[in-house]
Each structure stands twice: as structure tokens, then as C-alpha cells.
Chain A
């Protein structure tokens, strides 16, 4: 166990300095072992990867959420390679789901494979979601945290901008912007466009939370230690807000999906390839809702949208636990106990 060896050396080094009387005060202690890059990497891995994963794995919501999101990720990456894109009249019109394994989710009235449509629109959707959710949450968090922490004129200016965006009706704005900029091809840009008005609500909420946090003693201590503002905001202010931010991240992602589907459905976003929203629109135009034999044409894209949405909700809720220090401590304690056990039996 390199980890334990490492600790022992450390303690030895410490004892050395104390007993030899070389340095009388512990304020001057330095280690005799230089930290290697490997040590650093292991520390980072342990804190940011292993511990959170072990916590998340203990929660059934997380397992289901992870599994669902993983399915979509596989569809968006591997799926597009494995599943052939669909073309009109490649199969029988309006084949029912599970009727034939060639077309597991059935076909449209043009004979196009619905399963293939779902798979091939996933990648674009995932890009939109990622771009949109990250954009709105990052902007909202940064603006809210800085405005709340700095106060004064910075707060006044940032809050004024936020208020303007809150009061812009988001969906019509997006419709107008899409018409002006014609960026239908780039999913990232669409994602960001869809979130252009939605970050402001989060910014407001974060700001009011930070207003209470900034008076906490630990923030004042950090200021007294002379830590720069960006360190205080990112290390002291944001961590307590992370559960809230993560829930917002998943909600923002869901909103991007819904809005994108809605815009495609309304025919406002131009499209070249089929996707969930477009499929819905085509189904509607073909009056699939009134024809029992075509109902699956509606249901399949709806299920795709609902599925990813549920996956995101479950994931967001379970990630809450990762940021709770009490839950973390319990998990790390079990691993720590294993270590001591090993050490004593050694």
C-alpha cells in the first residue's frame, strides 16, 4: 500500500523534526519527502472521482438515472455508427412497434424507421442540452455569486442586467433570434440561444443565497486571510450552493429539450435531419393522433423526451447527496476504516 507507506514516511519526517529539536515550532515544519506528480494526481482522483462515485453508487435513484443517461449517451455516440440512418420507403408504411425486428419501434407512413430516427437525433439533442444547460447555469451562477458577494455598484449593474433578462419573454425572443440569425445547423448555438433568457432567474436566486452566506464567519475568515475574491467565491461561497446549482443544471437541460422540441414542432427552427421535435410535427401533420394505427409515431419521440427528462431528474436529485458533507464523511469513513484495519493486520 503506497498510500500507507507514504503516510508513515510523513510521520517519521515529522517526528524527526520534533525530536531532533532542529525546528522548535511546528509552524516551520516541512516535509522531507517531496510531493510527486503521482501523489498529486492520486489526491485529486481520490477527492473528486472515487469518493463521489462511491456515494452516488449507494443510491438507487442515482443508479437508474445514470443508467438512463448512459443509454442516451451510447445512442448519441456508438448508436449513430451502428444504426443506419433511415430513408423514406425503406420499410412498410406504419409498421407497428415490435412487429418486426427490422423496425423495432415501427415506421412512419413514409416507411421510415422510427428507432433509427430516435437514435440519430440523440446526438444533436445532447449537444444542445450540454451547451444550453452549461451556458445558463454557469452564467447564472457567476453573475449571481459575484453580484451577491461584491455588492455595491457591481451588484447594482449586474442585478439591473439580470432584471432586464428576467422580464424579456424568453420563448418569443428565441423565435425572433432564430429568425434573425439563421443558425439552424449548429446545435451548440441553438442550445445557447434557447437558454439566453433562462439564466437570469438562477442568477437572482443565487444572489440572494450569497447575500446570506457572505456574512458567515468562514467567509469573513477567508477575507481576513487575504484570499483573492475569485478563490473566496469559488471555494467558500459556491460549494454550499452546489446542490441547488446541480438541480438547476438538470432542470435547465430538461428545459432545453422541451423548448427545442417545441420549436421544431412549431416549425420555427429550420431542420435538415429528423429529430424528436420534427418527428412529432410530421406525425401531427399526418394526423397520427386521430389514427390508432399511427399512434406509435407520436408515442416514440414523446417517450424519448420523457425518458431523458426522468433520467436527468433522478441524477440531479441523487447528486445532491454528493455535496452533503455528512454523507461524504460517512462514506469516506468506511474506506478509512478499511485502511486502518489493513495497517494493523500488516
Chain B
């Protein structure tokens, strides 16, 4: 890109100035340019969000800011720190010793995955002391400062500092990592997907904390993420990366409400969220380019509906959309008209909710299902009872034919275990799972011999699609072998040619053409979306009645999610299967449930606390936990109430080996009263809607709950 104009803002004071910064890797296939001549100013005390799909070069850009690109990558261009004041620092020209001091003292970085950023055999304190002594700081004052930062992040410094990493939860580790990066009082904090491994509630809470930390410690934050809604909550400005360069840069509000670049517009439309009607969510066609082979001209033109000869021939320069808003597009003026973000006016589409009478026989029926795990005994374990984790506790749920149930909850709440117990992969410790009236873990003696299903029939009827498509396909087999395995097992009458034509037909059906090229490939030669399609076909080949889809889209890029969900829904309609969906994301849950007329079930610490149609769960949640989840789900609109206090008491989940008494949510529930700590609320209808059930005293107008005193925080300690 030949930059004459640049993504610069004249009136503000920049703290970092990037000039034509490129990162290049030499590979067998040619030079791979993973950051392509980026020119950008980062202003003092702003939060700059950098958004891009995986493989768009955003992490490399972050590493380049610290001159920390790993070998054999090379950084070229110019990065100036503090360009207006003395002493200004040219980052790429620093000597080794200077660079070491510059990192962490001026710019600190918080890496993705707090789990692997700490050495597991050292306490958190050691990490702090090491960082301080490596920079010749006074340990004592440094540790005092560390304790102060930890406290500001709502952590107990004494406890956290003396813990080993494994003793802290993911969210606590992530906060400790932020504290560690702040201990040398840097001016700029670069955060690379700092919340990607965390739950929604924790994510939102940390975003809120960042806001406080930023003002308190006078920071400039560069926040890198693939999640556009998330960054909308914190960033002052957003830079959208596409194909290793900045496609659009502007204030968050403008980027969200009137983006000018076609890519940003399409990306916004493809992002599932809670407000927009689901009809307006459309996938972005095509795929992001390979770094070795970026298209000539505008790199987005192969996927752009507005592309013409100019776009193919010349690379657009940043065009000023407004004073602080630039877009690298020849047609930025035409884009808003051509790609409307507002949903087209349409009549309220009457979706037929999968209406199930009590008379219908459920396909699968869970009855007071319990799965308890015994953990390893501590010490010698001779005198103590082993601790049990109640992963699933007393869940009852009916799934009908052509039904869709989406389970939502934080990680570790037992939603996946519940799903696996339902399809016969995890033997429950209590309760029963019945497939058309027959216990799937029994020997079939509970039903008449005439109606009995064989173990094989039940096995085939209940299938699974895993979260990580990379590990759900054996890397040592070709696609043809992977898809042939179920056919060989269950269809004796098919010979090799029949199997091959069926596989070819299926691959074409899910849009993988030319199919006979795909069948000879190994899984590593497919993209994540294609791998997931193969895994989906494999489950479908058995013609199952119910598929457990365990977060099937969370490993995919944002722009691919809607497409994959549409495919799942389309296959459901074609093959009359039911889905049991597991998701940690309320927006995705809503998309699936609303489009199929299914239900959303909210799981908290092994219990189903609320279940109902998406309209009720999203727009009129009854359980306080559902409300907290809804609060935590990032929105695509610019919110003025960003610093709003969370509707929960504590952001950390209680220890699952020692779950709270009574209603398990009472320790975090702002509306908890005395009775909540004593007895477990039974499930009652939450509204007039069919199938909306809530396990909370608040839906029972005549319950003693209303006379009780609210619990205050002191009671809980």
C-alpha cells in the first residue's frame, strides 16, 4: 500500500507513532508479509481496539510495537515512542540492553492465555520479584506497588502472591497477569486477546476493571481482539485489520453506527448479537487471503460486492470519512448505501416454535440426572473422604423430535458433562436418561421386548460434534477414510464405490467443491470451517436422531459463525434431527434457538436454572443469573452506560467441590434473601410462554421469600 495520506490525527498528542511498519517472514513458498506497511498513531491515554479475524496480522502488529517479533520474522519501518517530547525513542533502533529496559518500563504486554504465561512451579510472588529485579527496581517498594495493583483488581494480595498458578482460577490468573504487566508502571499496555479464554461474566468484569485501571494508572491501552462487540465496550477508537493492513480506523461510535469500509459493514452484519433481528445477520462470503499471495489492488476486492476495475487495479489510500475516521476504500461513500446494516423492513415473521404438547413422547428424556466426579484425594487420603464435584445435579429435561435445546453457561458449570451424559458418553451417578422411553444406560429390560431398541440402535441415534474441529478428526487419516469409517461399520451393503459417491455427494451438499479433491486431503489441509463441516457430515452419516453440538462454532472466526450455524440449521431441516447445543455465548444461542424455534437452557453449577423460548430468555429473563449473562454479553451498539456496575456480587465462581447451600447462585445473586441460602427453589413456570421454567423464588409471587431480609455481603464470608 502506498501511503500518501495516513491514519493520522493532527490535533492529538500521540504516544506511539508507526510509520510504514511491516513484518515479513521468509518461507519456502515466498515472502509472507503478515503486517503490511501500517501507518498509525496511538494517542496518549486512549484505548485503541484492534479488531481482525484470525490470521489478519493483529498479534504480529502487537509484537512489533515492542519489537518482539519472533525469529525469523523481521520488522521494517519506523516506530517512535513519545514522538513529541524528549526523549523520543525509536523502538526498532534500540540496542539489546535498551530494548530490554524499554519493554515493560514503557510498554508492557499482556499475552493471550494466562494459563501458560506463569511458570507452574513458582509462586505468583516469585514472578513479581523476578520482573522487578530484572529491571533493577527496589524489590520492597515494587512489591508494595504490586499489592496495591492487585487490590485494585479486586484480588487479595496476600493470598494471590503466595499461591501457585494452578491454585488460581482463570480469571484470577488473568488479573494477576495484568498486575504483573503494570508493576513497572509502563505508559502503554498492549493486550493480545486478554479475555479470549475467559467466560462472559469474567470478560465483562475485566473490561470494566480495565477502564478503572486506565484512569488510575494513566495508561494508554492497545486492545487486540477478534471480537468486535467486546471491543465496542471499552475502546475509544477502533482499527479494523483486514489482510494485514488497516481497513478502517475511527472512533468506536462511528465504526459501529456508520462504518464506511465494506468489510467492516459485512463484519458487523455477520456478528451474532442480542438486538438485531436474526434475518439481518449474513455471513461474509469467501475467505481471508494467504499472506504469501495477497490479491493485487484492494486486498478485499475478491469478497467485496462493490469491487470494480479500480479496486482490482490500485490499492486504495486511507480516505477521510470524517475528521477522525478513515477508510481504505475507493467506494467509501457508496458503501453505506450498497450494504445496509439496518435490517430491511419486513413483517414480523411468524416462526413456528417447535410446539410440543405434554402428550408428545419425548425423544430423549433426562430425569433428575446427576453426574458426580470424585477428585483425587489430597495427601495420603487415608483419613479424609474424597472430594466430589457435582458436575451435573438433578437436571430434568425433555427433548422432542426436531427439537433444539441450547445450553448456556460459564465454563465449568457442567453443561458439556450434561450433554455427554445425555447422549450416553458419560455414565451418570444418579437419575436416568431415556431414549423413547428406554434407559440408555440400562440393558433394555425396562421396556417390552417388542419396543426394545438394541444398544447399537441407541448408539447410532445419539451423535456428537465437538468444539475443536482440529482434534475431532484423526490427523493421520484422509477425509475419505474418516468419512468411510461410519459407513463401513453400519452399511454392509455398500461397496467402496458406493461409499465414495455418497461421501462426494455429501461434501458437495455442504459446499466443499470440488469434492473429489477434498476426499484425498488430510485434516490439516482443511480450514477450521471445512474441518467442522467434515465432522458434521460424519455425525450425519449415521442418520442420528439427536446430535450433541458441543460449542461447534466457538473455534471458528466471527465472520464464519453465522454461515456454520445456518448450515447446522439447514441440515437439521433436511434430516429431521434434534440438536442439543452447548454454548457459552448468549448471542449464538439466541441465533440458533430463534431461527429453529428452539429453547435456551441456562446452566449454573450443574443445575438448570432457567429454560424457555429465546424471546423470554433474552428479552424477559426471570432468573437473576440469566440477567447477569445477558448483561455480560457484549453488544454491538455504543453504550453510554459502559461503566455500569455488574448485576452480580462477586465475579468469581464458587468452588465446585463445595457448592453453596440452598440456591447455588445466592452467593453471587444481588437479590438473594435469607431463604435462598437455606433451601433450593423448585422449578416453576416463569411466564405464560410454553416451556418457560425458572428455578427461583422470585417467580413465585406468594412465596415467603418476599418477606425475608436481603443477604448482605458480610453474611457470605
Binding site for B on A (CB under 8 A): 7, 10-11, 13-14, 17-18, 25-31, 33-35, 39-40, 43, 216-218, 220-227, 231, 235-236, 239-240, 242, 323, 325-326, 328-329, 332, 336
With known contacts A26-B509, A225-B542, A31–B524 Cβ distance under 8 A: no
**Are A329 and B521 in contact (CB-based, < 8 A)?**
yes
Residues of B within 8 A of A39 (CB): 496-497
Tell me, rounded to whole Å, the shortest Cβ–Cβ distance linking A331 to chain B. 11
Tell me, rounded to whole Å, the shortest Cβ–Cβ distance linking A243 to chain B. 10
With known contacts A29-B502, A31-B498, A226–B471 Cβ distance under 8 A: no
Report the separation of the CA atoms of residues A224 and B475 in the bound assembly, to the nearest whole angstrom: 18
Contact of B505 among A29, A240, A329 (CB under 8 A): A29
**Are A217 and B471 in contact (CB-based, < 8 A)?**
yes
With known contacts A220-B466, A223-B425, A329-B521, A239–B474 Cβ distance under 8 A: yes
**Are A239 and B472 in contact (CB-based, < 8 A)?**
no
Please report which residues of chain B, range 231-248, place their CB below 8 angstroms from some CB of chain A when the two chains form the complex. none
**Are B496 and A235 in contact (CB-based, < 8 A)?**
no
- Interface-side segment among B370-378, B482-490, B613-621: B482-490
With known contacts A7-B516, A239-B476, A332-B520, A27–B506 Cβ distance under 8 A: yes
Nearest 8 interchain pairs by C-beta = A26-B505, A31-B497, A217-B472, A217-B466, A226-B459, A239-B476, A31-B501, A35-B495
**Are B501 and A29 in contact (CB-based, < 8 A)?**
yes
Contact of B524 among A27, A28, A329 (CB under 8 A): A329
B575 contacts chain A at the CB level, 8 A cutoff: yes
Please report which residues of chain B, range 529-551, place their CB below 8 angstroms from some CB of chain A when the two chains form the complex. 535, 538-543
Interface centre among B485, B524, B525, B541 (most CB of A within 10 A): B485
Tell me, rounded to whole Å, the shortest Cβ–Cβ distance linking A34 to chain B. 6
B70 contacts chain A at the CB level, 8 A cutoff: no
Contact of A227 among B472, B485, B497 (CB under 8 A): B485
7 contacting pairs across A/B (C-beta < 8 A): A34-B495, A35-B495, A222-B485, A224-B462, A225-B489, A235-B477, A240-B474
Residues of A within 8 A of B504 (CB): 10-11, 14, 29
Residues of B within 8 A of A13 (CB): 501
**Are B522 and A326 in contact (CB-based, < 8 A)?**
yes
B460 contacts chain A at the CB level, 8 A cutoff: yes
Interface centre among B477, B494, B502, B541 (most CB of A within 10 A): B502
Tell me, rounded to whole Å, the shortest Cβ–Cβ distance linking A214 to chain B. 12
Please report which residues of chain B, range 396-434, place their CB below 8 angstroms from some CB of chain A when the two chains form the complex. 423, 425
**Are A220 and B505 in contact (CB-based, < 8 A)?**
no
B500 contacts chain A at the CB level, 8 A cutoff: yes
B675 contacts chain A at the CB level, 8 A cutoff: no
Residues of A within 8 A of B517 (CB): 336
Report the separation of the CA atoms of residues A235 and B477 in the bound assembly, to the nearest whole angstrom: 9
**Are B466 and A11 in contact (CB-based, < 8 A)?**
no
Contact of A35 among B423, B472, B497 (CB under 8 A): B497
**Are B474 and A236 in contact (CB-based, < 8 A)?**
yes
**Are A33 and B497 in contact (CB-based, < 8 A)?**
yes
| Smallest Cβ-Cβ distance to B476: which chain A residue | A239
| Smallest Cβ-Cβ distance to B574: which chain A residue | A25
**Are B497 and A220 in contact (CB-based, < 8 A)?**
no
Report the separation of the CA atoms of residues A218 and B502 in the bound assembly, to the nearest whole angstrom: 21
Known: A225-B538, A325-B523; 20 extra A-B contacts, CB below 8 A, are: A14-B505, A25-B574, A26-B506, A27-B575, A28-B502, A29-B498, A29-B502, A29-B504, A217-B468, A218-B471, A218-B474, A220-B466, A221-B472, A224-B462, A225-B460, A226-B490, A231-B489, A236-B474, A240-B474, A325-B475
**Are B543 and A220 in contact (CB-based, < 8 A)?**
no
**Are A226 and B498 in contact (CB-based, < 8 A)?**
no
Give the interface SS of chain A, mostly helix, strand, loop or mixed: helix
With known contacts A224-B425, A226-B489, A326-B522, A14–B501 Cβ distance under 8 A: yes
Residues of B within 8 A of A35 (CB): 495-498
Residues of B within 8 A of A7 (CB): 516
| Smallest Cβ-Cβ distance to A23: which chain B residue | B505
Binding site for A on B (CB under 8 A): 423, 425, 456, 459-460, 462-464, 466-468, 471-477, 485-486, 489-490, 494-498, 500-502, 504-506, 508-509, 516-517, 520-525, 535, 538-543, 574-575
Report the separation of the CA atoms of residues A226 and B474 in the bound assembly, to the nearest whole angstrom: 16
Residues of A within 8 A of B516 (CB): 7, 10-11
Report the separation of the CA atoms of residues A26 and B513 in the bound assembly, to the nearest whole angstrom: 14
Report the separation of the CA atoms of residues A104 and B473 in the bound assembly, to the nearest whole angstrom: 57
Report the separation of the CA atoms of residues A34 and B489 in the bound assembly, to the nearest whole angstrom: 19
**Are A218 and B496 in contact (CB-based, < 8 A)?**
no
Residues of A within 8 A of B494 (CB): 30
Report the separation of the CA atoms of residues A26 and B506 in the bound assembly, to the nearest whole angstrom: 6
Contact of B486 among A11, A225, A325 (CB under 8 A): A225
**Are A221 and B520 in contact (CB-based, < 8 A)?**
no
Report the separation of the CA atoms of residues A11 and B504 in the bound assembly, to the nearest whole angstrom: 9
With known contacts A27-B575, A221-B466, A40–B538 Cβ distance under 8 A: no
Report the separation of the CA atoms of residues A129 and B274 in the bound assembly, to the nearest whole angstrom: 68
**Are B505 and A18 in contact (CB-based, < 8 A)?**
yes
Report the separation of the CA atoms of residues A27 and B348 in the bound assembly, to the nearest whole angstrom: 35
Tell me, rounded to whole Å, the shortest Cβ–Cβ distance linking B205 to chain A. 30
Contact of A325 among B476, B509, B541 (CB under 8 A): B476
With known contacts A39-B497, A329-B521, A329-B524, A221–B464 Cβ distance under 8 A: yes
| Smallest Cβ-Cβ distance to B523: which chain A residue | A325
Report the separation of the CA atoms of residues A13 and B498 in the bound assembly, to the nearest whole angstrom: 10
Tell me, rounded to whole Å, the shortest Cβ–Cβ distance linking B94 to chain A. 38
Residues of A within 8 A of B472 (CB): 217-218, 221
**Are A323 and B476 in contact (CB-based, < 8 A)?**
yes
Residues of B within 8 A of A326 (CB): 522, 524
Contact of A221 among B475, B502, B538 (CB under 8 A): B538
Residues of B within 8 A of A43 (CB): 496
Residues of B within 8 A of A239 (CB): 474, 476-477
Residues of A within 8 A of B575 (CB): 25, 27
Report the separation of the CA atoms of residues A203 and B587 in the bound assembly, to the nearest whole angstrom: 48
Interface centre among A14, A242, A328 (most CB of B within 10 A): A14
Contact of A240 among B456, B476, B535, B538 (CB under 8 A): B476
| Smallest Cβ-Cβ distance to B486: which chain A residue | A225
Residues of A within 8 A of B523 (CB): 325
**Are B498 and A30 in contact (CB-based, < 8 A)?**
yes
Report the separation of the CA atoms of residues A236 and B133 in the bound assembly, to the nearest whole angstrom: 49
Report the separation of the CA atoms of residues A17 and B426 in the bound assembly, to the nearest whole angstrom: 40
| Smallest Cβ-Cβ distance to B491: which chain A residue | A30
Interface centre among B476, B496, B523, B525 (most CB of A within 10 A): B476
Tell me, rounded to whole Å, the shortest Cβ–Cβ distance linking B53 to chain A. 24
**Are A17 and B505 in contact (CB-based, < 8 A)?**
yes
**Are A328 and B497 in contact (CB-based, < 8 A)?**
no
Report the separation of the CA atoms of residues A240 and B572 in the bound assembly, to the nearest whole angstrom: 33
Report the separation of the CA atoms of residues A345 and B475 in the bound assembly, to the nearest whole angstrom: 34
| Smallest Cβ-Cβ distance to B510: which chain A residue | A26
| Smallest Cβ-Cβ distance to A332: which chain B residue | B520
Report the separation of the CA atoms of residues A35 and B425 in the bound assembly, to the nearest whole angstrom: 36
With known contacts A7-B516, A14-B501, A27-B540, A224–B464 Cβ distance under 8 A: yes
Report the separation of the CA atoms of residues A240 and B477 in the bound assembly, to the nearest whole angstrom: 10
| Smallest Cβ-Cβ distance to B465: which chain A residue | A221
With known contacts A10-B501, A239-B477, A325-B522, A27–B541 Cβ distance under 8 A: yes
| Smallest Cβ-Cβ distance to B472: which chain A residue | A217
Residues of B within 8 A of A34 (CB): 495, 497
Report the separation of the CA atoms of residues A337 and B21 in the bound assembly, to the nearest whole angstrom: 38
